[in-house]
């Protein structure tokens, strides 16, 4: 492992020089969105200053350069998540650019509700046909972000499906497994009626890491016609992802949580599935031929990218991927694990703090720590932190059903990224002392 120089990395992030209420910014709201390095900011600026043009439609130099940059970004995204390890002719055909993880998951909910697909996952063809019918099951977990809950909930209502939830451990006395999934329960939950299983690889509230590879294996062994969808919004920014090893059918993530601009997201899908799915939107660039009577759709991935896309955002996403690849995802993950271990140890100094999620470091947790201070609302905690120049999140974190299970209105949440350091954890401890003093 190369030496990890966090101070050198911080030099690439202009916003870290900003002062908030007269104090240096400490940014610990990375689970919501990450900050952007100057290399990514410059990439978007360069697009608008040098090659701003629409793609796929012009024969002039600007359009050709913009098209090349946008398509190269698809290739970089494929390589970043291991899609290049799949036995496919073209990796770019498996990478669809969307606005964010939410749009990617909504795209799936809409398109899968209107499609009949041969998943090719078994010996008996009759057992490999995916088609949603009344009485079928959709399986998610109790800890999902609204983006991976509401689309399936509403789809279930519309088609009269059954939405099932894999349970998390709610034993607050279990320092290691509190908030984690029992993966083996999927053996009981995935049946012949289960058509969709959608799980976050990394939790945005509890900081838990789910064994998506094992879940995917169980899903496909128990039901060859079921589709396994992974919400990678949190995981892809912090750890090495390989969709070939995960065995997932679809993988969704957002650029803005991994140093890229807002408004650019990615949906990976297996080529044979995407080819059989109906489009999410209709219009320009997703067509090959249109007559007054009918429409012939374009090739992948453009079939699912209707209209003028976020070209600048796509190119900047490619720059963000370059930046992360240069540092190394393994190095980033190790750095964040060290920070989390230190933070958990420092938080042990307070007897009146409840941590939601594993309180001991293991392969089951990452750099997201949700907590409450007895008798003090999370919004008040976040507000006082802000007066110290520390940006954290206070609230339900788009996971209201999970909050109801935890029997809280919300939590305060700190979340680390590659540019955070131990000294900032110490400032968090000072801010907690200030909160307690104010509310004494």
The pLDDT, as a whole number, for residue 92 is 84
Under CATH, what is the fold of the domain 6-30+328-435?
A: 3.90.1150
Stretch (H or E) spanning 96: strand 95-98
The pLDDT, as a whole number, for residue 169 is 96
**CA–CA distance from 209 to each of 30, 177, 386 (Å)?**
17, 11, 28
Contact between 225 and 129 (Cβ < 8 Å): yes
The total of other beta-carbon atoms located within 10 Å of residue 317's CB is: 32
Read off the pLDDT band of 1 (50, 70, 90).
very low
Spatial CA neighbour of 71 closest among 305, 328, 327: 305
Residue pLDDT, tens place only, 122-133: 566 678 999 999
Q: How far is the C-alpha of 290 from the C-alpha of 163, rounded, in Å?
A: 38
The pLDDT, as a whole number, for residue 48 is 98
| CA diameter of the chain | 73
Active site members: 398
The pLDDT, as a whole number, for residue 90 is 62
What 3-state class would DSSP assign to 72? helix
The pLDDT, as a whole number, for residue 84 is 78
Instruction: Over range 2-21, report the average pLDDT.
Output: 95
Residue pLDDT, tens place only, 310-351: 999 999 999 999 999 999 999 999 999 999 999 999 999 999
Spatial CA neighbour of 304 closest among 155, 118, 115, 158: 115
What 3-state class would DSSP assign to 252? strand
The pLDDT, as a whole number, for residue 148 is 98
Read off the pLDDT band of 89 (50, 70, 90).
low
Spatial CA neighbour of 115 closest among 312, 250, 293, 287: 250
CATH number for the segment(s) 51-325: 3.40.640.10
Residue pLDDT, tens place only, 382-440: 999 999 999 999 999 999 999 999 999 999 999 999 999 999 999 999 999 999 999 98
Domain ranges of the chain: 6-30+328-435, 51-325
Strands annotated E in 143-204: 162-166, 194-200
Spatial CA neighbour of 376 closest among 355, 353, 404, 396: 353
């Amino acid at each position: 492992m190369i030496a990890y120089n966090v101070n050198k990395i911080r030099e690439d992030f202009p916003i870290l020089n900003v002062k908030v209420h007269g104090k240096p910014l400490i940014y610990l709201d990375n689970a919501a969105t990450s900050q952007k390095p100057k290399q990514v900011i410059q990439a978007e600026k360069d697009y608008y200053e040098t090659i701003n043009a629409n793609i796929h439609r012009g024969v002039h130099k600007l359009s050709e350069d913009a098209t090349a940059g946008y398509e190269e970004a698809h290739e970089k995204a494929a390589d970043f998540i291991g899609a290049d390890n799949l036995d496919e002719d073209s990796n770019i055909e498996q990478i669809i650019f969307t606005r964010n993880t939410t749009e990617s998951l909504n795209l799936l909910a809409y398109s899968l509700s209107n499609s009949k697909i041969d998943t090719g996952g078994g010996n008996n063809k009759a057992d490999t046909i995916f088609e949603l019918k009344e009485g079928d099951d959709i399986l998610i977990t109790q800890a999902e972000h609204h983006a991976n809950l509401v689309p399936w909930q509403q789809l279930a209502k519309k088609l009269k499906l059954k939405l099932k939830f894999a349970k998390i451990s709610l034993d607050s006395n279990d320092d290691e497994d509190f908030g984690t999934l029992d993966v083996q329960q999927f053996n009981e939950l995935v049946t012949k009626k289960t058509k969709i299983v959608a799980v976050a690889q990394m939790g945005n509230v509890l900081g838990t890491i789910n064994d998506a590879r094992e879940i995917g294996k169980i899903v496909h062994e128990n039901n060859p016609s079921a589709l396994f969808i992974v919400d990678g919004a949190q995981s892809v920014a912090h750890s090495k992802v390989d969709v070939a090893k995960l065995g997932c059918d679809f993988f969704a993530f957002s650029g803005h949580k991994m140093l890229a601009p807002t408004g650019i997201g990615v949906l990976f899908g297996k080529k044979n599935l995407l080819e059989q799915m109906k489009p999410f939107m209709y219009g320009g660039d997703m067509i090959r031929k249109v007559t007054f009577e009918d429409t012939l759709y374009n090739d992948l991935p453009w079939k699912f990218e209707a209209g003028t896309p976020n070209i600048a955002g796509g190119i900047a996403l490619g720059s963000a991927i370059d930046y992360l690849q240069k540092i190394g995802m393994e190095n980033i993950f190790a750095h964040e694990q060290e920070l989390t271990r230190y933070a958990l140890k420092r938080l042990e100094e307070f007897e009146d703090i409840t941590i939601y999620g594993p309180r001991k470091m293991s392969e089951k947790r990452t750099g997201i720590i949700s907590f409450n201070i007895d008798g003090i609302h999370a919004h008040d905690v976040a507000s006082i932190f802000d007066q110290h120049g520390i940006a954290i999140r206070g609230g339900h974190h788009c996971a209201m059903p999970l909050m109801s299970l935890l029997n809280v209105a919300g939590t305060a949440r700190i979340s680390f990224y590659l540019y955070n350091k131990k000294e900032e954890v110490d400032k968090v401890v000072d801010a907690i002392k200030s909160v307690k003093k104010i509310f004494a």
